[in-house]
Amino acid sequence: MTLTTTQAIISILIMAGVTFLTRALPFLLFDRGSGPPKIVLYLGKWLPPAVIAMLVVYCLRTVNPLVGSRGIPELLAICAVIALHLWKRNNLLSIFGGTILYMILVQAVFI
């Protein structure tokens, strides 16, 4: 399905407006002099680990450690992510390091 020129322009304007609103909303809602509300601080503290936990469960939901070598590359990559994070405390390094190790393991070692 193709959009007409008018539909495309309206879609772009709506997306631009929503993007601008999401960028401006925190400045409109919160006073610059005071800190953010406690609920925002609470969510900022606990939401990232909760999202990471959900992603881990989602990624490992189909792994069957009883079939072939399944589970070994995943376990090694998880250990690498944990080790890298404890060593450097850098989220990007941990994520990319674990992902690269996993890709190497499933494409070159556990074929």
10-residue averages of pLDDT along the chain (111 residues): 92 97 87 78 90 88 79 90 92 91 91 76
What is the length of the chain?
Answer: 111
- The confidence score (pLDDT) of residue 8 equals 95
Among left, alpha and beta (phi > 0; psi -120 to 50; other), residue 88 is: alpha
Q: Which residues contact 74 (CB under 8 A, 6 or more apart)?
A: 59, 60, 63, 102
What per-residue confidence (pLDDT) applies to 100? 95
